[in-house]
Amino acid sequence: MEHIEDLARGDDKRQHASLSLFLALYLMLLAFFITLLSLSTFEEERAARAVDSVNATFSRSETTALGGFTGDAGVAVQEARAWQDALQGAFEAAIPAVTVTRRSRGRIMELEFPVEALFVPGEARLREVHLPLLDRIVAGLSSAPPGYRYVMEFVTGSDYPTGDMMPLGVTPAVERAAVLARTMVERGAAPGGVVTGVSATEAGRARMTFTVVEEVGDADWLGRPLAGAPPREDTTTTAPAVE
């Protein structure tokens, strides 16, 4: 009988020990998930801020104001159109899938194409066959008439689903944007004339935008008046260029 009571007491001790173990495990898991939730919320907020920053920097609105040209705008626009015509022909020959849009009376030209038409599929490496095309762009960027300059923007679609958390670190899209900027500068482009980035647009697509802007001291790199600068004539238009 005494032996049976000892066994019963031993079972009670084991049950209490098991209960304590499960309770401790439960508390550990609860603390882990609370920590995970707080980190997830922080990362989502940080990712949202990063996406908003990228979109604000590289968004291209139809109402972008370039300011009024105070110099010989007619000559500048004519020369820009001639360069754009030659560049469009070179792009269409090298990348037949390109689509071309001209806005603001010939001051802006946008080219949209599959990003892997310019880069090796699955890699952040430019196709060597297109290096002469980049050389042509570099030469054109430095050929603006006095008082004006040409700016090239390259934006590639993000390689993460829209609305999802932006992955930390360097993504293939970011790496491709960096490779293009570095290659253009290495081949002679002025660093201030080339801007690259990533936008939360259709993955696998890329857009190059060429803009002619006037060199003035009270405007930013796209010719938009800086804060405190006197107002300038707004010559924005969405009508296509007249060929």
pLDDT in tens, 193-220: 899 988 877 788 999 999 888 876 545 4
For residues 195 and 54, what is the distance between their CA atoms, to the nearest angstrom?
12
Q: Domain ends where: 43, 58, 73?
A: 58
Please report whether residue 165 resides in a domain. yes
Give pLDDT, residue 83.
87
Residue 224 lies in a domain: no
Radius of gyration of the chain (CA): 29
pLDDT for the residue numbered 145: 83
DSSP reduced 3-state for 70: coil
Note whether 10 and 110 are same-domain residues.
no
Are 118 and 171 found together in one domain? Answer: yes
Tell me the residue range of the domain where 68 lies. Answer: 63-214
Residue 239 lies in a domain: no
| 137 and 52 assigned to the same domain | no
Question: Is residue 147 domain-shared with residue 34, that is, in the same domain?
Answer: no
* Element (DSSP H or E) covering residue 114: strand 108-114
Q: What pLDDT is stored for residue 213 in this prediction?
A: 83
Greater confidence (195 vs 223) lies with 195
For residues 108-122, one letter each, b for 16 or more C-beta atoms within 10 angstroms of the residue's C-beta and e for the rest, the string is bbbbbbebebbbeee
3-state secondary structure of 158: coil
Q: What is the pLDDT of residues 24-43, one digit of tens each?
A: 777 777 776 666 666 554 45
Q: Does 67 map to a domain?
A: yes
Shared-domain flag, residues 103 and 42: no
pLDDT at residue 147 in the model: 82
Judge whether residue 134 has pLDDT over 80.
yes
Residues 25 and 67 in one domain: no
Question: Do 4 and 17 lie in a common domain?
Answer: yes
- The answer to whether residue 8 scores a pLDDT higher than 60 is no
Residue predicted with more confidence, 93 or 9: 93
Give yes or no: residues 126 and 17 share one domain.
no
Q: Above 50 in pLDDT, residue 22?
A: yes
Residue identified by tokens 């992955």 is 167
pLDDT in tens, 82-132: 888 999 999 999 999 999 999 877 789 999 999 999 999 989 999 999 999
Average pLDDT over residues 168-194: 87
CA distance 18 to 26: 12
Cα–Cα–Cα angle for 9, 12, 13, rounded to 5 degrees: 90
Same domain, 116 and 49: no
Looking at the fold, whether 16 and 127 belong to one and the same domain comes out as no
Q: Is residue 219 part of a domain?
A: no
> The CATH number of the domain where 118 resides is what?
3.30.1330.60
Query: Is 236 within the bounds of a domain?
Result: no
